[in-house]
Structure 1
Amino acid sequence: MALSWKTRRRLSLLILLVGLPLYVIVAVNVVALFDRPPIWLEFVIYVVLGVAWALPLKAVFKGVGKADPDAEPRED
């Protein structure tokens, strides 16, 4: 079942305001469990983790920045 534009927009806002900060906290804590790697490796780890969260959520964020495709056109 495909999500409506309005649902995707609300869900994306929830993900960005609640889910992403939680993801950052978890990612930093998981990396902190290990001995500190060299700075270049730590940078690569954070870049990979920074991209990895968005890949499964790509469908949710797709098109939410555009106008509602199901809305009636406005007459100005």
Structure 2
Amino acid sequence: MALSWKARRRWALVILLLGLPAYIVVCVSVVNALDRPSLFVELLVYVGLGILWALPLRFVFRGIGQAEPEDERDDASQD
């Protein structure tokens, strides 16, 4: 089931306001559990984890910064 543009926009907001800060806490905890590795290894872990969160959620963020599609505007005005 495909999400509408409006639903994807709402989910993107929830993910950025609630999910991303929680993910940052998890990432910092993972790095601390590694007993503070060298700067280069720490950088690689943060870059890897930074890419990892976005891959499964890219469909939510795709096209959110653009204007609302015409076909959805027409559907909303008919209701």
Q: State the TM-score, normalized to the length of structure 2.
A: 0.86
- Identity among equivalent pairs (%): 56
Size of the alignment, in residue pairs?
A: 72
Q: Which has the higher contact order (CA 8 A, sep 6+)?
A: 1
Q: Aligned partners of 2:53 and 2:40: how far apart in 1?
A: 21
Q: State the TM-score, normalized to the length of structure 1.
A: 0.89
- 2:17 aligned with 1:17, yes or no? yes
- 2:65 aligned with 1:65, yes or no? yes
Deviations 1:43-75 (A, max 9, x none): 111011111100100000001111111214xxx
Moved over 3 A (4+): none
Write 1 or 2 for the structure with the bigger share of helix. Answer: 2
In structure 2, list runs of 5 or more residues that go unmatched.
Answer: 75-79
Aligned to 1:56: 56
Report the RMSD for the aligned CA atoms in angstroms.
0.9
